[in-house]
Amino acid sequence: MVKSNSVAKRRSIFRSIHITLFHGLVLWMGFGLLFGAVCAKMGWQSGMEQFSALLETNASRFSLPWYQSAGWYLLTWLLFFAVTFFCGFWAIGQPVILVAVLCKGIGLGSLICSLCLQQGWSGAGQALLLVIPSGLVGMFVLLISAKEALRFSTLLLKAFQTEELRPQMTHVRLYCLKHGLLLGILLAGALVDQGILCCYRFFIVS
């Protein structure tokens, strides 16, 4: 009876740690979004041409053919997804994972802010319809991937200290399976993104 209570208590502690970790990553990406918006606004006011040109390149995917736009969307998210996934197999990959989440938040925040600054209400509508829905899917995938990568990377780090915590093949398979599911969600997000973009072009632009 005592043993079962201790096991239940331990599982409760682990569950709370996982929830706290996810919330921390959400706040961390939120900070990146805010910081990116501030950088875009400062760049707009001071006339930083290179920074504005970079933002225009990111926003220009809305005028590309659907396959190029989908490819651009997947490329920008898959790059950071791959970083978090592979850093999970690195015992000291935690800082890189956090930097990847922060950088993606900065890029997304700066894109949304630049659309609003450059095009006014029209840009705000584009951000609301074309950036935020697909961005939420991408952020969800990246945050879950980062959480799992941080857990697995920390497990590998602890394995250097004690043999008892060495990850088994089942842990590796579960880690890869979770990321496979996340990759499927990301691909579905690309389809949703293109569906919204096609509706936007048909009903609003035309």
Kindly report, residue by residue over 129-158, the tens digit of the pLDDT: 888 888 899 999 999 999 999 999 988 888
CB neighbour list of residue 178: distance below 8 Å, 6 or more residues apart: 144, 148
CB neighbour list of residue 92: distance below 8 Å, 6 or more residues apart: 153, 157
- Which amino acid appears at position 168 of this protein? Q
SS3 per residue for 11-80: HHHHHHHHHHHHHHHHHHHHHHHHHHHHHHHHHHHHCCHHHHHHHHHHHHHHHCCHHHHHHHHHHHHHHH
Confidence band, pLDDT 50/70/90 cuts, at residue 162: confident
Quote the pLDDT of residue 203: 76
Kindly report, residue by residue over 45-71, the tens digit of the pLDDT: 444 444 444 444 455 666 777 777 788
- Which amino acid appears at position 169 of this protein? M
Question: Six-digit token pair at 113?
Answer: 């802010």
Q: CA 201 to CA 198: how far, in whole Å?
A: 5
| Nearest alpha-carbon partner for 104 in 49, 31, 175, 51 | 31
Quote the pLDDT of residue 101: 94
| pLDDT, averaged across the chain | 80
Residue 141's alpha-carbon distances to 6, 9, 38, in angstroms, are 33, 29, 25
Angle made by CA atoms 8, 9, 11, in degrees to the nearest 5: 65
Q: Are 68 and 142 in contact (CB under 8 A)?
A: no
- Which amino acid appears at position 116 of this protein? C
Q: Are 112 and 127 in contact (CB under 8 A)?
A: yes
Quote the pLDDT of residue 43: 67
Segment 9-38 shows an average pLDDT of 75
187, containing H or E segment: helix 169-200
